[in-house]
Amino acid sequence: MMEHSINRNLIILGAGGHGHVVKEVAEAMGVFDKIDFLDDNPNSSEAIGLCSDNKKFIEKYTYAIPAFGNNKLRMEWIERLDNNLFKIPTLIHPTSYVSPSTTIHLGSVIEAKAVINTNSRIEKGCIISVGSIIDHDAIINYGCHVDCGAVVKSYCIIAPLSRINSGQVIKCNNLSG
């Protein structure tokens, strides 16, 4: 398959609540020319097609990201989109604080007012929701969702595909912190 031309258009898989948050994060970044949805809900008036039809949109959309709250499903779709030659962006809301020493991998979304402190690592496909805090030297493994206002304390390592609920504080028994 021939590689498509590079444009700054983004397609979001999932036009539900989280999909709209992802769209607003992408809009706030100001780097995309066009943003549209794919969704498998036949009643979605915003979707321009079905998620399973994503290959049909490769010529018009260089970037694609799944916006599903289901961690496993989100990771499966990141893999599919990557295999279909879409570029998977990392989206970071401009009102979040991300330390320059932090690493954030593709397909992750950092929402408004989130804080990610020194030497932390956010792996592929994570959601760091609005107002959540990831303290220094923490590792959030692939496919995790740290929900609104949750706190992951320093030196914690969060298992892949985990969900940290809103307001939850994760403390680790680690002598380093």
Active site annotation includes 93 = no
Output the CA–CA distances (angstroms, integers) from residue 133 to 3, 21, 94, 149, 169, in the order listed.
39, 18, 15, 7, 9
Output the CA–CA distances (angstroms, integers) from residue 62 to 37, 77, 84, 147, in the order listed.
14, 16, 11, 28
Catalytic residue of the set 4, 20, 105, 136 = 136
Output the CA–CA distances (angstroms, integers) from residue 37 to 15, 65, 72, 89, 164, in the order listed.
6, 10, 20, 15, 27
The residues annotated as belonging to the active site are 136
